[in-house]
C-alpha cells in the first residue's frame, strides 16, 4: 500500500536579506528548531498511516546551524561565484562567503574566488581534508578547460595550494618536471578528504576519495549517523547496497559483522580499494569481515536467481575477498540489508530480492519523498522499530533519516 507523498510546500518560510535570493537555504535561521520539528512530525504522521510507531524508538539530532559543512558546491558564471537564484532559477546569486561552512572551508573558498577565473558556465566542489589539505573539482566545459590550459598561469597557481581534479572523469591535474600541465587518467594515490568513524568508541578513520565522489556534507553529522548505527543490533551477514567509498562499510565491519559491499561506480571502487588497504593495515582484526562485490546489488541477485552454477560477482583482488574461488554462498543467508540509495530511492529492488532470510533493513535517506515511497512497499512484512532524524540540511526541506525495520 502506497504512502501519501511527502509535501514540503508548507515548510517554506520567507528568508531575510542578505540571503533572500540564495538557493542554498530555504528558511529563516532563527526558526531552525521549528522547521526541524515540522519536518520530523510530518514524516512520523505519514508513516503512522501504515506503521504502528507507538513502540518505535525515535531520536533527534540537530546540527549546528553555522559552520558545520565540510563540502561546498557552487557555480561559476563569467567572473561570478555563488548559487543559483531561488526566484528565477537562472541568475547566479554571488557569494563571498557562506556561514554554513567550516572556518577552514570558508577560508579556502575566499582564496579560490580571488583567482581570476572567466568561465562561461561551470560547477565547482571544494573540500578541506582532515589534514587541512585543500582540494577542488572543476567541472567545466571542454572549451573552458582548454582555455585554462592555454593560459596556464591560473591552474599553476591553483596547484601550489590545492589538489586539483578536472571534469566528469575526475582526472588529476599535475605539473610535469618540464613545467607543462597534464591530466592524469589514473592517480596512483587519492587524497584523504573525508573522515569516518569506526567501532562503538567512534575512532576516527580518514578516507581517501576523488573530490567529486559522494560523501555526507558534514563530518559532524556523519559522526552522529555512525554513532546511531553502532548502537543497532544487526544480525549478519549484511548486504550493503551501494557501499561508495566505504563510509558505512568500515563501521559495520568494526562491529564484527560480515559485510558484502556492493558498488558499481568505478570511481567509488578505486577509493574503496585504497581505503580497504589502509583499513586492513590499521585495523587488521576486522579485515576479513568485508567482501567487496563490483556489481549493482539488484543485478547481482537477479542473475543469481537465474543460475546458481555461475558466479556473476567480480572481486577486484584478493585484498577484497577471502579467495578467488569464493562463491559468496553466504549471500543466501543475508540477515540484514543496509540501504543508502540516491534521491530516487530503491525502487523495484525489494521486488527482486529474496527477502525470506532477511530479518532487518537499515534504510538511510536524505530525501523523504523516495523514503516514504519505498517504505510503503515494506509495511506488509516489516515493522518500523526505530527512526533517527538528523537535521543535516537545517535550512532546507530535506531531512536525513535512518530507519530500522524489523521483520514481523
> The pTM is what?
0.87
* pLDDT score recorded for residue 344: 78
pLDDT tens-place values along the chain, 408 residues long: 444 444 444 444 444 454 555 666 655 555 677 778 888 998 899 889 889 888 888 888 876 667 889 999 999 998 899 988 766 677 888 888 888 899 999 999 999 999 999 888 999 999 999 999 999 999 999 999 999 999 999 999 999 999 999 999 999 999 999 999 999 988 889 999 999 999 999 999 999 999 999 999 999 899 999 999 999 999 999 999 889 999 999 999 999 999 999 988 999 999 999 999 999 999 999 999 999 998 755 555 444 444 333 333 333 333 344 333 344 456 678 999 999 988 778 876 766 677 888 999 999 998 888 888 888 888 888 999 999 999 888 777 788 999 999 999
C-alpha count within 13 angstroms, C-beta hemisphere, residue 186: 5
Per-residue three-class SS string for the chain: CCCCCCCCHHHCCCCCCCCCCECCCCCCHHHHHHHHHHHHHHHHHHHCCCCCCCCCEEEEEECCCCCCECEEEEEEEECEEEEEECCCCCCEEECCCCCCECHHHHHHHHHHCCCCCCEEEEEEEEEECCCCCEEEEEECCHHHHHHHHHHCHHHHHHHHHCEEEECCCCEEEEECCCCCEEEECCCCCCCEEEEEEECCCCEEEEEECCCCCCCCCCHHHHHHHHHHHHCCCCCCCEEEECCCCCCCHHHHHHCCCCEEEECCCHHHHHHHHHHHHHHHHHCHHHHHHEEEECCCHHHHHHHHHHCCCCCCCCCCCHHHCCCCCCCCHHHHHCCEEEECCCCCCCCCHHHHCCCCCCCEEEEEECCHHHHHHHHHHHCCCEEEEEEEEEECCCCCCCCEEEEEEEEC
| Domain extent listing, the chain | 71-128+134-184, 192-407
> Residue 294 — left, alpha, or beta (φ > 0 → left; ψ -120 to 50 → alpha)?
beta
* pLDDT score recorded for residue 28: 59
* pLDDT score recorded for residue 400: 92
C-alpha count within 13 angstroms, C-beta hemisphere, residue 44: 19
Pick the CATH number of 71-128+134-184 from 3.80.10, 2.40.50, 2.60.40, 3.30.1490: 2.40.50
* pLDDT score recorded for residue 32: 73
Question: Domain 192-407 sits in which CATH superfamily?
Answer: Vaccinia Virus protein VP39 (3.40.50.150)
* pLDDT score recorded for residue 10: 42
Among 390, 303, 341, 310, CA closest to 64? 390
First and final C-alpha spacing in the chain: 16
* pLDDT score recorded for residue 29: 56
Amino acid at each position: 500500500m502506497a504512502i501519501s507523498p511527502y509535501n514540503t510546500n508548507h515548510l517554506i518560510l520567507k528568508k531575510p536579506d542578505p540571503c533572500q535570493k540564495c538557493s542554498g537555504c530555504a528558511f529563516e535561521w532563527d526558526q531552525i528548531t521549528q522547521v526541524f520539528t515540522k519536518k520530523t512530525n510530518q514524516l512520523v504522521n505519514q508513516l503512522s498511516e501504515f506503521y504502528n510507531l507507538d513502540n518505535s524508538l525515535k531520536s533527534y539530532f540537530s546540527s549546528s546551524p553555522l559552520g558545520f559543512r565540510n563540502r561546498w558546491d557552487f557555480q561559476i558564471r563569467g567572473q561570478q561565484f555563488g548559487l543559483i537564484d531561488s526566484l528565477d532559477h537562472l541568475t547566479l546569486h554571488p557569494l563571498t562567503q557562506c556561514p554554513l561552512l567550516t572556518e577552514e572551508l570558508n577560508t579556502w573558498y575566499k582564496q579560490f574566488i580571488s583567482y581570476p577565473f572567466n568561465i562561461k558556465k561551470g560547477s565547482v566542489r571544494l573540500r578541506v581534508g582532515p589534514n587541512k589539505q585543500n582540494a577542488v573539482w572543476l567541472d567545466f566545459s571542454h572549451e573552458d578547460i582548454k582555455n585554462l590550459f592555454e593560459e596556464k598561469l591560473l591552474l599553476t597557481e591553483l596547484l601550489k595550494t590545492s589538489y586539483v581534479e578536472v571534469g566528469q572523469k575526475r582526472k588529476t591535474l599535475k605539473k610535469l618536471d618540464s613545467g607543462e600541465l597534464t591530466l592524469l587518467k589514473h592517480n596512483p594515490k587519492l587524497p584523504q578528504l573525508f573522515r569516518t568513524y569506526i567501532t562503538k568508541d567512534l575512532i576516527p578513520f580518514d578516507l581517501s576519495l576523488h573530490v567529486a565522489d559522494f560523501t555526507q556534507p558534514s563530518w559532524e553529522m556523519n559522526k552522529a549517523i555512525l554513532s546511531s548505527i553502532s548502537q543497532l543490533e544487526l544480525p549478519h551477514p549484511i548486504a550493503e547496497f551501494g557501499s561508495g567509498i566505504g563510509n558505512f562499510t568500515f563501521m559495520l565491519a568494526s562491529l564484527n559483522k560480515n559485510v558484502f559491499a556492493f558498488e558499481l561506480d568505478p570511481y567509488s571502487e578505486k577509493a574503496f580499494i585504497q581505503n580497504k588497504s589502509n583499513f586492513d593495515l590499521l585495523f587488521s582484526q576486522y579485515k576479513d569481515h568485508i567482501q567487496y562485490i563490483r556489481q549493482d546489488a539488484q543485478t547481482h541477485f537477479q542473475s543469481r536467481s537465474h543460475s546458481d552454477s555461475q558466479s556473476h560477482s567480480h572481486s577486484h583482488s584478493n585484498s577484497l575477498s577471502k579467495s578467488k574461488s569464493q562463491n559468496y554462498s553466504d549471500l543466501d543467508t543475508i540477515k540484514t540489508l543496509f540501504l543508502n540509495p540516491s534521491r530516487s530511492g530503491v525502487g523495484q529492488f525489494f521486488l527482486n530480492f529474496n527477502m525470506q532470510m532477511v530479518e532487518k533493513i537499515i534504510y538511510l535517506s536524505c530525501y523523504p519523498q523516495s523514503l516514504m515511497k519505498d517504505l510503503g512497499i515494506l509495511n506488509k512484512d516489516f515493522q518500523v522499530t526505530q527512526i533517527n532524524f538528523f537535521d543535516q540540511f537545517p535550512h532546507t526541506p530535506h531531512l536525513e533519516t535512518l530507519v530500522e525495520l524489523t521483520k514481523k
